[in-house]
Amino acid sequence: MSSIIAIDGASGSGKSSTAKLLAKKYHLAYLDTGSMYRAITYIVKSEKHNLENNKNTANFCHLLDKLISQRKLTINLNPENFKILYFNKNINNQLRNQNITKLVSHIASIPQIRALLIAWQQSIIAKHNFTNQHSHTKGIIVEGRDIAKVVIPEADIKILLKSNETTRARRRAKELNIKDITSLAKSIDKRDKADLQINNFANPSADTVVVDNTDMSLNQTVDFIAKIINSKLNNLK
């Protein structure tokens, strides 16, 4: 089995739901990197960390490093129960609220924070790499914005999920139970623009398969990507 699958895509492209279902189907670990950026944003906001200059940011990153190495900040990679634990408390439910969503792109744009999170993501992936003799699981699906190009350019399969803006806004509105689709579409557009400044994920590497799922249901998207994975596996035989 090819062990590392990267799925990138914008908000509302369906990447989390798709990646989770694929991870279950292929018995892989699952890593949602957006939740990692959201967790750091939650810590900054709830503990009022000041990141206004390089020195403060460096101090905060040093603290984060310690929290990660002392396992005070951990991630459960089971696709059926993905969660981020902060001092043993599941903080998942705090990560999707509007206050975090509004701030996360700014936090994700800070180079020192990105460097720290990318290194953490790479160390998690290395533990699940099939070719790594110390690995104890079969592989991992990692989803985010910069996975194929930055985090793990050597991924076995790279997918970019795309869908048109109206569809993405409609999906997000359903997920978050929001009635005002127009203002939601505006905030998605604002975040897209900020995120594209950080990493131009809309411009994929040559070995990325672009899947436009505007007219596909979740199950159709999963089946479509499963075909890509299966054909890759057959080629490896």
**Footprint of ligand C5P (CB under 6 A):** 11, 33-34, 37-38, 104-105, 108, 144-146, 191, 195, 198
- The least CB distance from residue 71 to ligand C5P, in Å, is 22
- The least CB distance from residue 201 to ligand C5P, in Å, is 8
Whose CA is closest to 150, among 128, 127, 117? 117
Q: Which is nearer to ligand C5P, 10 or 225 (CB)?
A: 10
- The least CB distance from residue 144 to ligand C5P, in Å, is 3
Q: Which is nearer to ligand C5P, 28 or 84 (CB)?
A: 84
Q: Which is nearer to ligand C5P, 122 or 230 (CB)?
A: 122
What's the rounded Cα separation, in Å, for the pair 72 and 87? Answer: 5
User: Which residues are registered as beta bridge partners of 143?
Assistant: 7, 32
What's the rounded Cα separation, in Å, for the pair 152 and 9? Answer: 15
- The count of other CB atoms within 10 Å of the CB of residue 104 is 23
- The least CB distance from residue 93 to ligand C5P, in Å, is 14
Q: Which is nearer to ligand C5P, 149 or 216 (CB)?
A: 149
Tell me whether residue 29 is exposed, middle or buried, using C-beta atoms within 10 angstroms of its C-beta: 0 to 12, 13 to 18, 19 or more: buried
